Amino acid sequence: MNVPTRMPRPLAALGLAAGLAMTSAIALSPAPASAEMSAAEKAEMGAFIRGYLLENPEVIVDAMEVLQQREQSAKAEQAKAAIAAHKDRFQAGPTTFAAGPEDASATMVEFFDYRCGYCRRALPTIQEMLAEDDDLRVVFIEFPILSEESVLAARAAMASLKQDRAKYMDFHNALMNSRALNEASVMGIAENLGFDVEQLKRDMGSSDIDNALNINQQIARDIGVNGTPAFIVGDNLVPGAVPKAQLQELVASERSGG
């Protein structure tokens, strides 16, 4: 099946602008005797559209804004549908950790990468929100996309859940704040926290971790997560290290059913 290529945004905007101009032309012109336009009529119409756009370049700007609004609305609706479809995945499991009470009135999901500087910057915000709000649940989705070190750290964090779930947050925080994430440093952190390092290494290569990472990648693609960090609160996708106040507003909105 052939997939139609997507028109570049500037051309799409010109097409939309041309459509607006053509609408004006049709409104000002008498109805044609035939539905088919002659070559001369097409040339005349093209000249009119060109002249109209040259005289009214703001139409192109307006068309670009309309196009961007339509794209943003379409992406938001697509994200909401995908979030609803994958909602069952946003909970604690064998390879996924969640902080906060299971029956919390609001849940926030974070897609993160241990090599992501913006994720590191967002960490204090998440810690503060959990400390200040005992009715909030935060689900941590391992989404290593930046490097092989990202994958190594994610696998270690997921494997740590097999040994001691109570130590995950300490391990998570230490990995996030570590400037080096090679095998020696990751295993050093794990050993300092009391993990069985040899068992951790064996668990890191397990098929369930392979499957979980693949599923996380698929969910991210479906929702439209293109970078880290990315937050989900209710049915809202919020990309980037956004201010704490914005996340708190979204949490409050979810609780109120907004």
How do residues 101-110 score in pLDDT, each as one tens digit? Answer: 999 999 999 9
Residue span(s) of the chain under CATH 3.40.30.10 come to: 88-255
Give the span between the Cα atoms of 168 and 156, in whole angstroms: 10
| Contact between 147 and 182 (Cβ < 8 Å) | no
Q: What is the pLDDT averaged over residues 116-132?
A: 96
Q: What is the pLDDT averaged over residues 171-178?
A: 97
- C-alpha pair distances (Å), 2 with each of 5, 9, 11, 68: 9, 21, 21, 26
Give the span between the Cα atoms of 52 and 29, in whole angstroms: 14
- State in Å, rounded, how far the first CA of the chain is from the last one: 41
0.75 exceeded by pTM: no
User: What pLDDT, on the 0 to 100 scale, is given for residue 1?
Assistant: 42
Mean pLDDT in the chain? 85
* Token couple for 127: 């810690």
Strands 136-142 and 106-112 turn out to be parallel
Instruction: Give the pLDDT band (50/70/90) at residue 147.
Output: very high
| Contact between 228 and 143 (Cβ < 8 Å) | yes
Start-end of H helices in 29-147: 39-55, 58-85, 117-132
* Token couple for 224: 């439209």
Under DSSP, is residue 32 helix (H, G, I), strand (E, B) or coil? coil
* pLDDT tens-place string over residues 55-106: 887 877 777 777 667 766 666 677 778 888 888 888 899 999 999 999 999 9
Burial 122-154 (b: 16+ CB within 10 A, else e): bbebbeebbeebeebbbbbbbbbbbeebbbbbb
* Residue 98, strand partner residues: 139
* pLDDT tens-place string over residues 216-229: 999 999 999 999 99
Q: Decide if domain 88-255 falls under CATH 3.40.30.10.
A: yes
- Taking alpha carbons only, the member of 33, 53, 60, 64 closest to residue 45 is 53
Instruction: Give the pLDDT band (50/70/90) at residue 24.
Output: very low
User: What pLDDT, on the 0 to 100 scale, is given for residue 201?
Assistant: 97
Which amino acid, 171? Answer: F
Residue 227 has, within 13 A of its CA and on its CB side, a CA count of: 8
